[in-house]
Structures are given as structure tokens and as C-alpha cells.
Structure 1
Amino acid sequence: MRIGRRGAAGVLAGLLAAARPGAAEDWPTRPLRLVVPFAPGGASDLLARLLAERLGPALGQPVVVENRPGAGATIGADAVAKARPDGTTLLYGTPGPQIVNPSLMPSLPYDPVRDFTPVVSLVSAPNLLVVNPGLPVRSVPELIALAKARPGELTFGSSGIGASSHLAGEMLKLRAGIEVTHVPFRGSGPAIQELIAGRIAFLIDTLLLFVEHRASGAVRAIAVASAQPSTLMPDLPTIAETLPGFDSAAFNYLAGPAGLPAPVVERLNAETNSILAETGFRRRLAELGLEPIGGPPEATAATIRSEAARWREVIQAAHIRLE
């Protein structure tokens, strides 16, 4: 769901008017922490900092990005789950903490549903299907045909077992009915280098990672792995045009610990929706290949539930487990 500038401003005005006197208006009284459960320098970290730069002035307090990587994003998520529910500790959510980790890991230090308060949907981050230029394919149907002609011979890389790039490759494998071999690496960088070197056949990972490699001819992009075409690469078809319903885009959102006061959730939601509606911010998102979403907290909660169910099906079918 998208909210226009006037709509977001109207929502903000209505929410603040409806809030209890002295509640949302007097909050926050101290700086906020925006916890990113990954190391600095990645796509999530970049967007979190872009959001924090604008959210701080809107709230009247600094919003400090705090990187808490480790254990498949569970360390950062757990820090938020155990924080005081006063709205000053927030999670920059990606598919890991609440969507895929419950199906990947035998146990978590938090309850993925009960220990968090959904606040607002942020962006959809599309993935890109790329192949080594030496592979004799230029489309998804050609890749599927080659894989079926050479069962078990083609390899696809990922940034690690259970990573979004791994799950996207398994989804392609299941939907297309092909037998290909997964090769995990320690991060997207090594996987891309192995693809360029020709030691793996294809890779599905964050679109933004491949802009320069595609321009130089180091990789061949054959399709966008999200439901809609990319504004950054409008010349490419989607995988869904060949495999209806295919969508491996990463859902990004904002959440807090369980028990956040309703006026605080409403204030955060309204301010973030206003930021997502800003022309300059939307232009920056387009440059990064990201699609803004926005909407009420209820929509965020619903998307987390539906995404968890969708990826659970892939994880169970592919027998993926992290110990």
C-alpha cells in the first residue's frame, strides 16, 4: 500500500489530534536507537541511515543507527525484543528475524510474533537473477531448459545457508522443477566473484549489487526476481512472467518491542509514512532500486504473517535447517 503526500500529512494530523494529551506530543524525550541486525555497509544499513536522518528531525530527537550483527540477525532482534517498550529502541526489520528464522532455526531467544510490535512497512527490495556470461542462456526459459537438459550439473551461489539468496535459488528450483546444486559462500561479495569467474552458473541476490557488474559485462542479468519490473532496470522481464507468482523480493519494515503504547506506534507510523511520501526520499529509493510501501501497522503485521508462511513452504520443501 502506498500513501501520497497529502494522505500521509492527513494521517499524521489526525493521529496527533486523536492521541491522548501529553502522550505522543511529549514523546520522545530522549534519543532513539534504530537497531540494524547486520554489519555496517550493507543495503539494510544504508536505508536505515537514510531513514534515521529524516526521522530524527521529525521526532525532535536524534535517531542513532546501532549495528548488532550476528546469528542470522537474531542478536539484534533479541536486543530489541528485550528493550523497554517506550519507543526509543526500534528494529530495522528484514526477512530474517520474524519471517524466515522461525522456520530455519530450531530455537530462537525470542517469540517472533509475541515479542514485537509492528510499526510500519518500509520498502520492498527486489532481487536479480544473473548468470555467468559464458552460460548459453539469455532468458529464464532458456535457463530452465538448460538445467533440465543437464540435471544436477548447474550450480547456483548464495551468501550463505538460509540467506535470502539461498532461499530465492531454492524457490526457483522448486517452481521450475529443476535439479541444480547450491554452493554457499560467506557473503554476497565472494558469491559474485565466483559467478564472474565462472565457477558457479547463476545467482539471485539484491539487484543493487549488480548494477556496475552488469554495466561492465561481468555478469548477464536475465530477469528481476520480484513480482513487478524494476524501475532501475526496466528493460528486464520478471521471473514471474515465466513462473507465475514467483517473488523473492525482501520485505523491510520497522518494529519495536512488544507493548509499545498505541500513541507512540501511531506517531512513528505517521512520521515514517510522511517520509516515504517525500519526493526526494522516493527519488533516492528509486536510485537504489527500492519500492516504497508504507501503510498502517496492521498491514505490516499481515505482511509479516504472509511472508513467513510463503518462505516456510520453501524452507520445508528444500529441507533447509540452521543449527
Structure 2
Amino acid sequence: MKNKIYQCVLTLVFGLLATQISAQTYPSKPISLVVPQTAGGTNDIVARLVAPAFGEAIGASVVVENRPGAGGNIGTQSVARSAKDGYTLLLTINSAQAINPALYKNPGFDPINDFVPLYYIGATPYVLVTPPGSPYKTLADVVAAAKKKPGELSYASAGNGTISHLLGAMLNTSASIEMQHIPYKGVAPAINDVLGGQVPLAFASLPSALNYIKAGKLQAIAISSAKRSSAAPEIPTIAETYPDCVGEVWVAMFAPMGVSAEVIKKVQTAMEKVMTRPDVREKLTAQGLDLSPVPINRLGALLKDELAKWVKIVKASGAQLD
């Protein structure tokens, strides 16, 4: 009996030592930064701007991995089920983390209990865009056309239940119009079809559309933030006409629940260094991100607030996916 107790104690001690050593040596191999959406979207752009600086700050190579599918559920699930060692992290947006639980009967993850909030990076609005030469120059033009022929004017989104979809539903309600929603598998193919003239309008995140707007390949009609963006102050907001039609996408980093406190601290400290670098901040703001900080201890509360907000909007829109 004494030998068994002794062996149990040794096992416990060695286990604790192994955990401490692992935390002290972290990271000792590359870190996977999972983006649960396709390339070209907001968090993919942010991930590829942040990853090199994050790697330098934490002392390891950081590999961005796109794992799209089911509106972000597949990549998010994969991180929730990954090893709790800090080598697989999630860089996601609020549409996946805060909207999908209301949209899908079983998204395959619990946004509160399956993840540890690590770091809030920033937020950006969506922009309603149309091709150059389009008859829709202003939001008033869009609303007038939609009222003239209800259900005929269509808009593209990054997919069912995304913020770009729900913003169209919100505008329908606010303006008492009926635009037809056309979902795509990501923002890039939606923009491509608008560029090609297959769809007259699209809601796209500002980072994903800004270069096209600056190059004159897309015409911006209005953005979805409460105030105009410093990256494109010439674009009016939808809220200037319809004050209740506001929605932004924010980007944040999460770890699977169960990662040690020591590893979490190292990741957060590294991200603090990243987000104080002028070159990183300049690149992010140039893409249209508002870098107003959300304290680490407030990110969990922000997520809960967003869950409550979007469940109401999803119900009002009638959107539901299996």
C-alpha cells in the first residue's frame, strides 16, 4: 500500500513538473493560428498582418491556417478540440463566435465554455459596394430601386448568417424594402461576382473591399459603423439615414479552454508587444480597422454582449441553418 501511495505521489509530482517545464519552454515549436474563414476576408487579412510580428514577439514561427466551412464552425470546432498546449490558437470574428450559436441548431462548439479569450485586436465596418457605372450612387438610390421593384434588387454576402447577410436584413427592415439575399462561400467570391456584374450590390468588410474601392474597381455607397471610418471618411454611414442599422466585425484571438495560465500570459504579453508596434498599427488602420482597445478582462464580457445582441437580430431576420 505504501509503495502504491508513493508511486501516486511521484506521478503527481512529475506531472506537475512536466506542466511547469512545458509552460517555461513554450513555445518550442511552430504555432498554428487558425482562421475559420476563406482567404481574403477580414480576419485572414488581419492574421497575415499580425502573424509575423506575433512570431517575433513570442519567439516562434506562426503559421496562418485557413480552415473554412459552415460559416466558420469547422475551423472553430477544430480549435476547440485541439490539444490544450497553446500551439493551436483561433483568430476569429464575431460573426462566427457570436452569431453562429444563434444561427445553427448545433454549431459544434460553445463560445463561452470551449474557449479562453486572449486578445481583442480591432473592429471594422462593412461597406455596401457596387460596380463602377452602376445606377446606384447613393443609399437613397438603392432604397428607391428596391421600393420600385420589391424582391428584384439583390445583394451578395459572405454567406448565410454572416454579418454581411444580416446587415442586408437590417436594412430591409429599417428602410421597409425587400432586397434579395444571395449568399456566397466567403467574401472573395461575392466581391468577384460584383466586379463581374453578376450581382449589383454586396456587403463586404471594409478591409476586403478597400483596395478595390481605392483602385476604382468598386464604388462605395455606405458603411455600417455608427460613425465614418478614418480610413475612408468620404464614405457616408448607413446610420446617417437609418440610425438603428449599425453592425461591425471585430477580430480577436482565443485559445481552447484548458490551456495553462502561464501559456495564456505569454501569448497575451506577446500580443501586447505586437499591438504597440507602430508599423503593425499603421498597416491595420490602413485596412480600415479601428484599434480602440478592449481590455483583456473585458473580452469575455464583450462576447456575451454580442451573443445577446445578435440572437435578437437572427430571430428577427428568420435566418436558421441546420
TM-score range, shorter chain: 0.7 to 0.9
How far has the Cα of 1:27 moved from its partner? 3.6
Q: 1:48 to 1:192 in 2, by over 3 A?
A: closer
Distance 1:128 1:248 in 2: 10
SS of residue matched to 1:204: strand
Q: 1:196 to 1:42 in 2, by over 3 A?
A: closer
- Which letter maps to 1:318? S
Q: 1:186 to 1:91 in 2, by over 3 A?
A: closer
Distance 1:189 1:97 in 2: 17
CA contact (8 A) 2:38 2:186 kept: no
How far has the Cα of 1:87 moved from its partner? 2.2
The answer on 1:32 being equivalent to 2:28 is no
How far has the Cα of 1:26 moved from its partner? 4.8
The answer on 1:110 being equivalent to 2:116 is no
CA contact (8 A) 1:34 1:90 kept: yes
Tell me what 1:16 maps to. Answer: none
CA contact (8 A) 1:124 1:250 kept: yes
Gaps of 5+ in 2: 1-19
User: Which aligned pairs between 1:78-227 and structure 2 lie closer than 5 A?
Assistant: 78-133=77-132, 136-196=135-195, 198-215=197-214, 217-227=216-226
Distance 1:164 1:128 in 2: 11
The answer on 1:307 being equivalent to 2:306 is yes
Distance 1:26 1:294 in 2: 29
Q: Deviations over 1:272-310 (max 9, x none)?
A: 123112211111112222222443332211221222222
CA contact (8 A) 1:121 1:293 kept: no
Q: Give the share of equivalent positions with the same residue, in percent.
A: 36
Count of aligned positions: 303
Q: Deviations over 1:86-132 (max 9, x none)?
A: 32221011124321111111112222211111111112132111235
The answer on 1:228 being equivalent to 2:238 is no
SS of residue matched to 2:112: coil
CA contact (8 A) 2:39 2:188 kept: no
Distance 1:215 1:62 in 2: 33
Distance 2:56 2:139 in 1: 45
SS of residue matched to 1:277: coil
CA contact (8 A) 2:95 2:249 kept: no
- Which letter maps to 1:181? Q
Distance 2:212 2:28 in 1: 46
Distance 2:215 2:27 in 1: 47
How far has the Cα of 1:216 moved from its partner? 5.4
Tell me what 2:64 maps to. Answer: 65
User: Which aligned pairs between 1:249-288 and structure 2 lie closer than 5 A?
Assistant: 249-288=248-287
CA contact (8 A) 1:157 1:202 kept: yes
Distance 1:192 1:41 in 2: 10
Q: 1:65 to 1:199 in 2, by over 3 A?
A: closer
Q: 1:151 to 1:113 in 2, by over 3 A?
A: same
TM-score scaled to structure 1, two decimals? 0.83
- Which letter maps to 2:150? P
How far has the Cα of 1:219 moved from its partner? 3.5
Distance 1:316 1:275 in 2: 38
Q: Deviations over 1:174-204 (max 9, x none)?
A: 2322222112234434433443455534221
Moved more, 103-112 or 217-226: 217-226
Moved more, 181-190 or 133-142: 133-142
Q: 1:105 to 1:213 in 2, by over 3 A?
A: same
- Which letter maps to 2:166? L
SS of residue matched to 1:292: coil
How far has the Cα of 1:137 moved from its partner? 4.1
CA contact (8 A) 1:97 1:112 kept: no
TM-score scaled to structure 2, two decimals? 0.83
- Which letter maps to 1:258? M
Q: 1:77 to 1:185 in 2, by over 3 A?
A: closer
Distance 2:214 2:281 in 1: 24
Q: 1:296 to 1:28 in 2, by over 3 A?
A: farther
How far has the Cα of 1:212 moved from its partner? 4.7
How far has the Cα of 1:22 moved from its partner? 7.8
Q: 1:77 to 1:234 in 2, by over 3 A?
A: same
- Which letter maps to 1:163? T
Distance 1:33 1:192 in 2: 28
CA contact (8 A) 1:89 1:256 kept: yes
CA contact (8 A) 1:159 1:184 kept: yes
How far has the Cα of 1:170 moved from its partner? 1.3
- Which letter maps to 1:298? N
